Amino acid sequence: MPNLAPPRFPRWLLERRLPANVRGASIRGDLLEEMTARAARGSSRRARLWYWAQALAIAAHSLTPRRSHHHADSFRKASVMESLIVDLKFAARSLIKSKGFTATAVLTLALGIGASTAVFSVANAVLLRPLPYAEPDRLMWMSEVGRTGTPMSIAWPDLLDWRERATVFEALAAIQRGIVNLTGSGEPERLVSRNVTSRFLEVLGVQAAIGRMFTANEDRVGAPRVVLISDGLWRRRFNADPDVLGRVVILGDLPHEIIGVLPAGFRFNLVTDDDVIASLGQQATPGSGLPDRGNHNGLTAIGRLRPSVDEGSARRELDHIAAALRQAHPNTNADVHAHIEPLTQRLVGTVAPMIWVLFGAVAFLLLLAMVNVANLLVARGMSRRHELSVRAALGGGRWRLVRQLLVESSLLAVAGGAAGVAICVGLIQLFVATAPADIPRLHDVGMSTPAWIFAFAASSVSALILGVFPGIQSSAIRGPHALVRAGRGDTSSASANRVRRGLMVVEVALAIILLTGAGLMTRTMYALASVDPGFDPSNVLTLRYSLSGDQSTAALRQEFRGRVAIFGDDLLARVRALPGVERAALALSLPIEGSQWGSVFVVGGQPVPARADIPIAAFVPVSAEYFETMRMRLRAGRFFDESDTIASPKTVIVNDTFARRFWPEGTAIGKQLKQGWPEDPEPWREIVGVVNDVKLNGVETATPLQVYVPYPQESSPYTALVVRTSTPPAAIGTTLARAVHELNPNLPVFAVQTMDELMRGAVRQRRMTMVIFGGFASVALVLASVGLYGVVAQGVSERTREVGVRIALGATTAQVTRLFVGQGVATAVAGAAIGIGGALALAGVARDLLFEVAPTDPLTFVVAAATLTLVAAGACYIPARRASRVSPTIALRAE
């Protein structure tokens, strides 16, 4: 029968480990022959397994230092390698013997190393890794801002001027995020579109996987309509057809020719999958509002700096251009400034404070874990004094003993590191599964090479730090004298006790820092949760749709807007008739989610401020019943109703903030305002009502000036349907979508969510920070109290004799208990004091993550210190109680 080929790895191992002579060859031959015979008798799988096992055993045997070849040599000095192996074996045996100690130490280290490696992997994947673009350091992100830094987007004509005049950029491109409906063959789908100018991909240094990017010539009004599609859309809708170029898709009711497919995994902002890349220049029709310099339509820009240019000179040039535009166009640009920052900062900078604070926290946890294990080692050293003294007395050199202990602590660190990696992998999976989806590059988080290096470095540092303590332990060993003293309450034990107390103070201080951090996060979450959003989010479901139509001229735009209003009316009529629907309304912007339309305005009867000081308000078209649906409160006047139509007098409702700002005394009702610049031909609108403030941009930002406009008078194609239900709101989603599709089967429905979900979403990054911080703090508290317990328990057992004397002399149970609890608590209080000092010093770091809580919040600090002291007292009480029950006769006789 043909020979069974031996498994490759063990064969290779044997060839390496066995000598290349007849001895090695014959052994390999024997194994091969036996494996073949075994395979013939039974299963070849088992034969191969046998080969594996034998090869590993032989390799292991050839690793062990061979005994001396001649008898005369048997007393020669053991080589370093040999004695190290002996040390390792001995350390492993002695660690296995004291299972409780080893398990505690390894688990503690594993927690510290695992948690810190996990947070490091997140920081590395999200923050530290360069952007997936060519030379990302040269990429800049730009927008326009008000004088005081109020962010706004770039006006299209401003952008064209920037592009023409700026010399610092190799290439510059505008970006606008849009939503577009894909219709035609198959299910209608709402797509995320990134509308850009022609050099977008060139700026990033990315090339289309198939086809090409559009040219500058195609990037203007009237050019043939072209589009690039994402890899995902290509696979989803076109079955990854390589001949997709030239096919025509209907986007926003207009046919577009596909000219390219983006590379797989391309995500411009690292978070969202953009489905299509469309030309922004083609959309700058007169009716689109883009050519108006006063309109800031959500455009931003990215640019690639020339090789020799830095951020500072780019900023100077943009400032210069913006100043020139302010001069040339005082009507529109009076308060328009340029803003530039590195693209990396823009894309991942928002999550940086959270991740760095967590990283800091986990570093403290790692340190605390190391200190705790060091503490355990010192305790173990004390209880091993006798063993060590005996070995020293029998002639074990001091260096030999220290090395033995060093090997032991290294072994602990290695085991802790290995278990830590396992914990880390679990933590990473947990994090990726539960973290908010808006963390960039979330799915790139994993055990990468840098993470392995970090874990290795953390273990090595642990080994080093733990290795310091064998030195302290060995100071207890001073030749034969130690043997006599061992076991008594002598000076060496007192010095070790001092070390342990010192370590405990450090541990408690670290725990306090983590506890206060967790406390501040919890207070922040509580403050966020108790914010009154100004409406009732329970039982409200929202969804969005986006109508499209030709708006290229003012007349067409007028007609389209009329159709939008009629569609809205029809939809509301259908939805209100559905079972389970209490009220329904339409709105452009939703609370929490943010304003979709900011505009300057002029208030009637008040002096018009200087150009740059003309105020901006969030304008929100809402239908009748909107305020009732949201359960907002009317302060004065009336809500919108069916009397506010396209033909009726123009009306608005303003919020409290608005009314207070312009009419601090008296009423806003009956006053007038106009959306737009003073010279714009917009109509004057009468204020018919004042409503309470709602949180518009997230839960944290103060409510801006807000103006509600009747939906029929300012219908918007991008609209949210808001429904208050009498049944659980999530269940009604499909019914609502069906109602939309009855009116227009081609209209995609998206962003279906309850207002509660929206509220939760606004604080989820903070919630996650709080939960993680809380986890770290709990672990810290447990470690610190276990450590304290250990120190006090050791103290008790060493002072049994003293306690006996005290009791014999008349000390009461309470007095003895107080003695030990007092010492433990004193340690805890000293640590707490240092910890509070440290936490105050670090307070500023967490400022960005807090809300309505001062980083030095006294309540948090007091509660953290009190919690720790209480837990510490509890941990000390158990051994102290045992001490107080010591019977004096037994204590005095012991020895």
Partner 1 sequence: MASPSPLYLGEFEQLVLLAILRLGGDAHGVGIGRELEAQAGRVVSRGSLYTTLDRLEQKQLVRWKIAPGGEERGRLPRRVYALSARGLTSIRAAQRAFRRMSDGLDSLLNEPTS
Binding site residues, partner 1, CB under 8 A: 3, 22-23, 25-34, 36-37, 53-54, 57-61, 67, 69
Cα distance from N-terminal residue to C-terminal residue, the chain: 75
For partner 1, the closer of residues 60 and 554 by Cβ is 60
Smallest gap from Cβ 474 to partner 1, in A, equals: 37
Closer residue to partner 1 (CB): 34 or 757: 34
Euclidean distance between CA atoms 131 and 349, whole angstroms: 12
Pairing of strands 598-603, 581-587: unpaired
* Of 20 and 814, CB closest to partner 1: 20
Closest of 870, 868, 886 to residue 817, by C-alpha: 886
Least distance in angstroms from the C-beta of 27 to partner 1: 6
CB of 33 to partner 1, least distance (A): 4
CA gyration radius for the chain? 37
Nearer to partner 1, 4 or 826 (CB): 4
Work out how close the CB of 36 gets to partner 1 at its nearest, in angstroms, rounded to a whole number.
6
Return the number of the residue (22 or 80) whose C-beta is nearest partner 1: 22
66 versus 443: smaller Cβ distance to partner 1: 66
Q: For partner 1, give the closer residue by CB, 31 or 109.
A: 31
Residue 60 or residue 566: which is nearer to partner 1 going by CB? 60
| Choice between 15 and 848, CB closer to partner 1 | 15
- The least CB distance from residue 74 to partner 1, in Å, is 12
Task: Identify the DSSP state of 435.
Answer: S
CA angle 861, 458, 513 (to 5 degrees): 5
Distance of CA 422 to the CA centre of its chain: 21
Closest contact distance (angstroms) between CB of 55 and partner 1 is 8
Cβ 30 to partner 1, closest distance in Å? Answer: 4
Q: Where are the alpha helices (DSSP H) in 764-812?
A: 764-798, 800-808
The tokens describing 294, both together, are 């006063």
50 or 750: CB nearest partner 1? 50
Q: State in angstroms the smallest separation of the CB of 47 from partner 1.
A: 13
Q: Indicate the helix (H) or strand (E) that contains 588.
A: none
Provide, rounded to whole angstroms, the least separation between the CB of residue 92 and partner 1.
20
CA-to-CA distance for 230 and 126, rounded, in angstroms? 23
To partner 1, the closest distance from the beta carbon of 794 in angstroms equals 45
Side-chain half-sphere of 255: how many Cα atoms within 13 Å?
Answer: 6
- Residue 403 CA to residue 88 CA, distance in Å, equals 10
CA distance 728 to 733: 10
d(CA 71, CA 74): 5
Q: How far apart are CA 172 and CA 883, in angstroms?
A: 77
**Shortest Cβ distance from residue 37 to partner 1 (Å)?**
8
Report the residue count for the chain.
Answer: 895
CB of 6 to partner 1, least distance (A): 9
Q: Beta strand pairing status for 169-183 and 248-251?
A: antiparallel
Distance in Å, CB of 62 to partner 1, minimum? 8
133: left (phi over 0), alpha (psi -120 to 50) or beta: beta
| Count of Cβ atoms closer than 10 Å to residue 151 Cβ | 11
Nearer to partner 1, 34 or 490 (CB): 34
- Pull the structure tokens for residue 736: 């609502």
For residue 499, the minimal CB distance to partner 1 (Å) is: 45
Residue with smaller CB distance to partner 1, 44 or 54: 54
Q: Quick check: 190 and 748 in contact, CB under 8 A?
A: yes
CB neighbour list of residue 739: distance below 8 Å, 6 or more residues apart:
571, 574, 575, 578
Q: What is the DSSP letter of 137?
A: G
- Distance of closest approach, residue 64 Cβ to partner 1, in angstroms: 9
Q: Hey, what are 365's tokens?
A: 């946890």
Range list of H helices, 475-606: 479-485, 491-529, 554-576
Kindly tell me the burial class for residue 811, based on how many C-beta atoms sit within 10 Å of its own C-beta (0-12, 13-18, 19 or more).
Answer: middle
Which CB sits closer to partner 1, 40 or 854? 40
- Closest approach of Cβ 81 to partner 1, in Å? 18
Cα separation, 130 vs 137, in Å, equals 8
b/e code 295-314 from CB counts within 10 Å (16+ = b): bbbebbbbbbbeeebebeeb
- State the angle between helix axes of 398-434 and 99-123 in degrees (0 to 180), rounded to the nearest 10: 50
Nearer residue to partner 1 within complex by CB, 61 or 247: 61
What are the DSSP calls for 25-82, one per residue? HHHHHHHHHHHHHHHHHS-HHHHHHHHHHHHHHHHHHHHSPPPPSSGGGGGSPPPHHH
Nearest to partner 1 of 23, 212 (CB atom): 23
Tokens of 404: 């033995």
Q: Which is nearer to partner 1, 36 or 675 (CB)?
A: 36
Separation CA 210–CA 229 (nearest Å): 10
